[in-house]
Structure 1
Amino acid sequence: MHMSRGSRTAILAACATVLLATSACGEDQPEEATTQQVRLYGTDGNMLNSYPEELKDRAGLVDGMKGTTPLTPLPDDFKNRLRSVDPRLTDYLYAAEAYDAVLISALAAQLAGSTDPADIAKQIVGVTNNGTSCTTASQCLRLARQGTDIEYRSVSITRAGFTDAGEPATASYATLHFDGQQLNDAKTEFVGAGDESTASKKAPPKAKRQDADFPDPESGAPLVLGGLLPKTGDLALANPPLAAGAALALKEINAAGGVLGEDVVWIDGDDGTSPAVAKATVASHVDAGVHVIIGAGGSGISAAVLPDVVDAGLILFSPSNTAADLTEADDKGLYFRTAPPDSLQGRALADVILRDGPRKIAIVAREDSYGKGLQEVVRAELERAGFGGDKVKLLGYEPGEDAEAAPINFGEGAKQIKEFGADAVLIIGFSESAAVIRALADADVPLAALAS
């Protein structure tokens, strides 16, 4: 089908304004959506090999779905090490970020010479900037014990370290494709984002040298980390790689001699993809003497528990929070993340959609800081590319409060999308968002998967 002048103009505008555009520019022609097909797009919360299972006997509906996720090309060695702690692992989303969150926490404590959360927090940003470069737990811990300022680089932290706000200055995103009911790794594309110049230039407090023969009895060792990961709830499908990354880091830290002369202790905990469950876990960690909490999985959950964590004087360090508004959270310098903010992902996601030359786009998001925040970023990027309010429809849904909540009902929203005439639907959510796809099919929205 010949592309209209308006659609062609939108794509050309996207090349000039969407910072991450790649193959949409130049001589390549975008894939064209037809009036008979509606393309599905997803994000890091649902672009997982485990996601089709949420659709049960209708898993084939994801065929042809595309999306983005924060992801760097993972070396085979790292994947093999992850599988050594979880042989059943099929997804790697945020595994590297979880590994790095645990290791950075350990390195910061070693450099501080203390398990006091306030002292550790002052070292975290500096661990990733302006020091002697190191890449492994054993190498970095050896330097830290000598009192050497380090610059940690690893799988998820490659080009630049943390900003002053305690989050990555740069990021890598992957464009993922479902072929059938599995992600096709052969089609995965990677693109960089962010600005290296935004990495922090501040010097951390002077590192404390450790006497290996006489550890400081006042250091507060052992360092205790508490998990706040989504073992249950709507984000539970993303827990295996998060848990594997954290477990691998703990294994390698302790194999390298631990922190402050003792093995690091891990106390497991569930965030339940629920503020109530997460708050109970945080309270338990406070009582148990945890110093650093690794989590939560979802941005909305972290936002809900952050005041409790800050009041207790602990550190909250998430491997998977992406909501842009968390950059400005009132955290008293105690919140950090290894996942990049959605202000970067939104550009990559808009580019993926624009490549296919859509005419009308519906964006469906769960009603929380993650969903609404990313929805707004993508909307703004599409507007910059020439897609005004008459070409973009925003819808939302309330996620269940816990794992026992009834499935969401998106029947009315599906009817609105059909009446709007969208030929592209972006779904921003977790496992519960499978109900959106089912509702679209039930409303006879002609999904590309059904027509293929």
Structure 2
Amino acid sequence: MLVSHGSRAAALVACGALLLAGAACGTGKSEEATTTPQVRLYGTDGNMTNAYAAELKERADLIDGMKGTTPLTPLPEAFKSRLRSVYPKLGDYLYSAEAYDAVVITALATQLAGSTKPAEIAKQIVGVTNNGQRCEKAVDCLKLARSGQDIEYRGVSLNRAGFTDAGEPATASYATLTFGDRKIDDGKTEFVGAGDESAASTKNPPRPYRQRGGKVPSAPLVLGGLLPHTGDLALAYPPLAAGAALGIKDVNAAGGVLGEPVVWLDGDDGTNPDVAKSTVAKHVRNGAHVIIGAGASGISRTVLPDVVAAGRVLFSPSNTDAGLTSVEDKGLYFRTAPPDSLQGRALADVILRDGPHKIVVVARKDSYGEGLQENVRAELERAGIGSDRVRLLTYEPPADAKAPPLDFTAGAREVKEYGADAVLVIGFAESAQVIRALADSGVQIQH
């Protein structure tokens, strides 16, 4: 049972009255409850969504008050409405703008390359976002590209600066989200910028192709989806799918690419290496030039060698593992999501605002979880939080949907014995079991 400040004050007044009357006040379990620290919960882009509450079912109230960060630009209502027009049941918008921009940037790069050869498309992707004629709508950008004009695309998520030489955003916008009444309380959402505009690439891409007639022989451009229909990250699928679908719709409404409508081949990454590898192989056989995905950073790491060996481009809207910045990719990997080196700073700031004394960072054991965990630890240390005040825990996520649910009982016991008053949970849908275990172990979660 949680003890509020108000109820505790009332209890002290009542106890004082009893003492004046010569009676004794109890010092058993009630005293223990007042000295046990209450724990504030924090989350990240993998679980700060409305769909996450559904993972806790009848215990969704456990996350009321949970705060966290996610890469998110303030989205215009008109854009949200257009997303819902292609995906009517959309409840979250996480990475929808990044998915939209990944599709549009790919289309523009292909038009400027004058070819659907993946290597030629890759050479244009960074340049599409830097040092050209500024444009924001697919129809206007495609018109400029067809005339052979260098362009500087500024879309929904990519609106401050372009890509770095590594093919990722130089800057990012993060939202601080808060759960209330079993869903994200939009009234408490705050936005903060991160990154450095001067990090954007200044290299010139190859000379743009000028289309003088109808369709080009290598058309149409074929995009293969590698998004999490299923698996631990399936809660992020609807906004990713909606963003990609809207991007395809806008590009084709604007006349397509190289005189032909863009073709979309759907595909599941399963948040599972085996499923993702099978999907990539299928896309390669079916002639996909660019693969949009994967959803999770660890899955992209797994399939990237296959994609590179096949000479295709991998373009993710949602990978945030900072290690992917320097991954060996032969210039064929790109992302519209910012690296976690930026999110780590935003998360540390959110946690430190509440003045915690002991912090536990729980992460799923993969490149995303452990990478972001280390970024947060480093930022906390930079802010003066000593190693004696931070504890790092990891867990093995279930291999697939048929595996037993995550058992975090031992970890929850360790959190309680440590006396943490702040717990950051870095994970996907499976991380709901971490919160269940904390509550079941007697950790007092502050709402």
**Do both proteins adopt the same fold according to a TM-score greater than 0.5, normalized to the shorter chain?**
yes
Q: Tell me the distance in 1 between the aligned counterparts of 2:426 and 2:403.
A: 19
Equivalent position of 2:239 in the other structure: 241
**1:306-345: CA deviations, max 9, x gaps?**
0000000000000000000000000000000000000000
Equivalent position of 2:220 in the other structure: 222
Amino acid at match of 1:76: E
Equivalent position of 2:320 in the other structure: 322
How many residues get paired?
414
Q: Tell me the distance in 1 between the aligned counterparts of 2:419 and 2:133.
A: 56
Q: How does 1:39-188 map to 2 (within 5 A)?
A: 39-188=40-189
Q: Tell me the distance in 1 between the aligned counterparts of 2:416 and 2:324.
A: 34
Amino acid at match of 1:336: F
Q: Secondary structure at the match of 1:422?
A: coil
Aligned counterpart for 1:370 among listed residues 363, 368, 371: 368
Amino acid at match of 2:49: L
Amino acid at match of 1:88: K
Q: Tell me the distance in 1 between the aligned counterparts of 2:159 and 2:283.
A: 32
Equivalent position of 1:296 in the other structure: 294
How far does residue 386 in structure 1 lie from its aligned partner after superposition? 1.7
Q: Secondary structure at the match of 1:38?
A: strand
**1:383-437: CA deviations, max 9, x gaps?**
1122112100000001112222221110000000000000000000000000000
Larger Rg: 2
Equivalent position of 2:230 in the other structure: 232
Q: Tell me the distance in 2 between the aligned counterparts of 1:446 and 1:205.
A: 59
Equivalent position of 1:359 in the other structure: 357
How far does residue 361 in structure 1 lie from its aligned partner after superposition? 0.2
How far does residue 35 in structure 1 lie from its aligned partner after superposition? 4.9
How far does residue 36 in structure 1 lie from its aligned partner after superposition? 3.7
Q: Secondary structure at the match of 2:50?
A: coil
Q: Tell me the distance in 1 between the aligned counterparts of 2:56 and 2:183.
A: 13
Q: Secondary structure at the match of 1:425?
A: strand
Is contact 2:37–2:420 with CA below 8 Å preserved after alignment? no
Q: Tell me the distance in 1 between the aligned counterparts of 2:403 and 2:306.
A: 25
Q: Secondary structure at the match of 1:330?
A: coil
Is contact 2:39–2:444 with CA below 8 Å preserved after alignment? yes
**1:52-78: CA deviations, max 9, x gaps?**
110111111010000000001000110
Equivalent position of 1:380 in the other structure: 378
Is contact 2:161–2:171 with CA below 8 Å preserved after alignment? yes
Is contact 1:362–1:425 with CA below 8 Å preserved after alignment? yes
Q: Are 1:389 and 2:416 counterparts? A: no
- Identity of counterpart residues, as a percentage? 73
Q: Tell me the distance in 1 between the aligned counterparts of 2:216 and 2:179.
A: 53
Is there any run of 5+ residues in structure 2 with no aligned partner, and where?
1-33
Q: Tell me the distance in 1 between the aligned counterparts of 2:187 and 2:141.
A: 34
Q: Tell me the distance in 2 between the aligned counterparts of 1:216 and 1:251.
A: 20
Q: Tell me the distance in 2 between the aligned counterparts of 1:237 and 1:369.
A: 19
Equivalent position of 1:266 in the other structure: 264
Runs of 4+ in 1 over 6 A off after TM superposition: none
Equivalent position of 2:19 in the other structure: none
Amino acid at match of 1:216: V
For the structure 1 residues 396 and 87, does the alpha-carbon distance in structure 2 shift closer, same or farther, using more than 3 Å as the test?
A: same
TM-score with structure 1 setting the length: 0.91
Q: Tell me the distance in 2 between the aligned counterparts of 1:100 and 1:155.
A: 7
Is contact 1:272–1:403 with CA below 8 Å preserved after alignment? no
Q: Secondary structure at the match of 1:390?
A: helix
Amino acid at match of 1:42: G
For the structure 1 residues 262 and 336, does the alpha-carbon distance in structure 2 shift closer, same or farther, using more than 3 Å as the test?
A: same
Q: Tell me the distance in 2 between the aligned counterparts of 1:254 and 1:406.
A: 44
TM-score with structure 2 setting the length: 0.92
Q: How does 1:385-424 map to 2 (within 5 A)?
A: 385-424=383-422
Q: Tell me the distance in 2 between the aligned counterparts of 1:35 and 1:207.
A: 65
Is contact 2:130–2:201 with CA below 8 Å preserved after alignment? yes
Higher relative contact order (CA 8 A, sep 6+): 1
Q: Tell me the distance in 1 between the aligned counterparts of 2:230 and 2:402.
A: 10
Q: Secondary structure at the match of 1:171?
A: strand
Is there any run of 5+ residues in structure 1 with no aligned partner, and where?
1-32
Equivalent position of 2:194 in the other structure: 193
Equivalent position of 1:30 in the other structure: none
Is contact 1:129–1:152 with CA below 8 Å preserved after alignment? yes
Q: Secondary structure at the match of 1:105?
A: helix
Q: Tell me the distance in 2 between the aligned counterparts of 1:405 and 1:430.
A: 16
